[in-house]
A and B are shown apart, each in its own frame.
Chain A
Amino acid sequence: GAGVSQSPSNKVTEKGKDVELRCDPISGHTALYWYRQSLGQGLEFLIYFQGNSAPDKSGLPSDRFSAERTGGSVSTLTIQRTQQEDSAVYLCASSLTSGDPNGYTFGSGTRLTVV
């Protein structure tokens, strides 16, 4: 597709359940990022994938969070045993390379609500 696609666009889940969020980056983009945006806040870095290199997981807030990227394309962010503080918009972005001066192309995000 022409842009970064994220699904679902909205997810409501019960506290304690696991959720999976999907990101389909722009074809050919080697770099993929996940960010979290809480209400009224800026973007919080979660994880970064670059090609076949080991991902930079330094932003993951706890071991309940994990992400994988299969075949250098689609990525899935998994949150286990969700908590209310996990409620946020999860944004995925991709770029040609990590050094692309034109920045990232973002998806529209997944709004996660934990009740």
Chain B
Amino acid sequence: AQKITQTQPGMFVQEKEAVTLDCTYDTSDPSYGLFWYKQPSSGEMIFLIYQGSYDQQNATEGRYSLNFQKARKSANLVISASQLGDSAMYFCAMREVNTGNQFYFGTGTSLTVIP
């Protein structure tokens, strides 16, 4: 079974609008971390936001917030007030504390911001 599932291969959003990128995960480990990364055309992976499985509140970092629904095993990324520079690939990832050695990545969502 896929550890991380991103069902939106491509998304479009109007500049200044908000957009939600979907991510669901699968784990039996009660302790885990969820991450979002941005990969622009330059290829570098840029860390955006982190959510721990025991965190009570949704994580926020500037215009990024993570909509964490533990019972549904979803960790959607919300980008508010989209900017042209937000156009990139976005990857959801998970690390299980009891394995600890690797991140599991989804296949990514390509976001295009339209002026």
Interface residues of A (CB under 8 A from B): 33, 35, 40-43, 45, 48, 50, 56, 58-59, 89, 91, 93, 98-99, 101-109, 111
Contacts and interface: CB of A to CB of B under 8 A. Distances in A.
Most buried by B among A33, A59, A106: A106
A43 B103 contact: yes
A99 to B, nearest CB: 6
Contacts of B35: 103
Contact of A59 (B33, B45, B102): B102
Contact of B45 (A91, A101, A102): A91
Contact of B101 (A41, A98, A105): A98
B50 A103 contact: yes
A90 to B, nearest CB: 11
Contacts of A56: 101-102
A41 B107 contact: yes
Given A102-B50, A103-B37, A103-B50, A45 B103 contact: yes
Given A93-B45, A101-B52, A108-B44, A42 B91 contact: yes
B58 to A, nearest CB: 15
B47 interface: yes
Interface string B89-115: 001010001001111111110000000
Nearest to A31: B101
B47 A105 contact: yes
